Amino acid sequence: MKTVKDLQVAGKRVLVRCDFNVPLKDGAIRDDNRIVQALPTIKELISKGAKVILMSHLGKVDHKDPVKLAEGLKKNTLAPVAVRLGELLGKEVVFSEETRGEKLSALVNNMKDGDVLLVQNTRFEKGETKNDPELSRAWADLADAFVMDAFGSAHRAHASTYGVPELLKAEGKEVAVGYLVEKEVVNLSKVVDCKERPYLAILGGFKVSDKIKVINSLLKKCDKIIIGGAMAYTFIKALGGNVGTSPVEMDQLDYAREMYASGKILLPVDTVCANDFDNPTEVKVVESKDIPEGFEGLDIGPKTREMYMAEITKAKTIFWNGPMGVFEKDAYQAGTVAVCKACAELKGKAFTVIGGGDSAAACKQFGYNEEFSHVSTGGGASLEMIENDGHLPGIDVIG
For the question of residue 59 being annotated catalytic, the response is no
Separation between Cα atoms, residue 219 and residue 9, nearest integer Å? 44
Q: How far is the CB of 365 from ligand ADP (least distance, A)?
A: 12
- List contacts with ligand ADP (CB under 6 A): 204-206, 210, 229-230, 247, 297-298, 321-323, 325-326, 328, 356-359, 379
Separation between Cα atoms, residue 3 and residue 178, nearest integer Å? 6
In three-state secondary structure terms, 139 is helix
For the question of residue 380 being annotated catalytic, the response is yes
DSSP string, 167-191: HHHHTT-EEEE-HHHHHHHHHHHHH
| Burial state string for 289-298 with b = 16 or more CB within 10 A and e = fewer than 16 | bebeeebbbb
Q: How far is the CB of 380 from Mg ion (least distance, A)?
A: 9
Which residue, 117 or 344, has its beta carbon nearer to ligand ADP? 344
Q: How far is the CB of 26 from ligand ADP (least distance, A)?
A: 22
Q: Is 357 in the site for Mg ion (CB under 5 A)?
A: yes
Active-site pick, 152, 204, 355, 357: 357
Among the listed ranges 225-233, 234-242, 244-252, 358-366, the one in contact with Mg ion (CB under 5 A) is: 358-366
Pairing of strands 270-274, 283-287: antiparallel
Q: How far is the CB of 219 from ligand ADP (least distance, A)?
A: 18
Which residue, 108 or 338, has its beta carbon nearer to ligand ADP? 338
Which residue, 206 or 260, has its beta carbon nearer to ligand ADP? 206
**Which of the listed partners (ligand ADP, Mg ion, none) does 206 bind, with a CB threshold of 5 to 8 Å by partner kind?**
ligand ADP
Q: How far is the CB of 280 from ligand ADP (least distance, A)?
A: 13
| CB-based burial label for 130 (10 Å; 0-12, 13-18, 19+) | middle
Separation between Cα atoms, residue 151 and residue 395, nearest integer Å? 8
Q: What is the dihedral of CA 85, 89, 91, 97, to 10 degrees?
A: -20
Best CA proximity match to 225, nearest among 270, 196, 254, 259: 259
For the question of residue 348 being annotated catalytic, the response is no
Q: Is 358 in the site for Mg ion (CB under 5 A)?
A: yes
**Which of the listed partners (ligand ADP, Mg ion, none) does 323 bind, with a CB threshold of 5 to 8 Å by partner kind?**
ligand ADP
For the question of residue 190 being annotated catalytic, the response is no
Cβ atoms of residues 16 and 41 within 8 Å: yes
- The DSSP 8-state label assigned to residue 261 in this structure reads T
Residue 226 neighbours by CB under 8 Å, 6+ apart = 200, 201, 202, 203, 265, 266, 308, 311
Q: How far is the CB of 357 from Mg ion (least distance, A)?
A: 4
Binding mask 301-340 for Mg ion (x = CB under 5 A): ----------------------------------------
Active-site pick, 183, 207, 289, 341: 207
Q: Is 249 in the site for Mg ion (CB under 5 A)?
A: no
List residues with catalytic annotation. Answer: 34, 207, 357, 380
Task: Name the site residues for Mg ion (rule: CB under 5 A).
Answer: 357-358
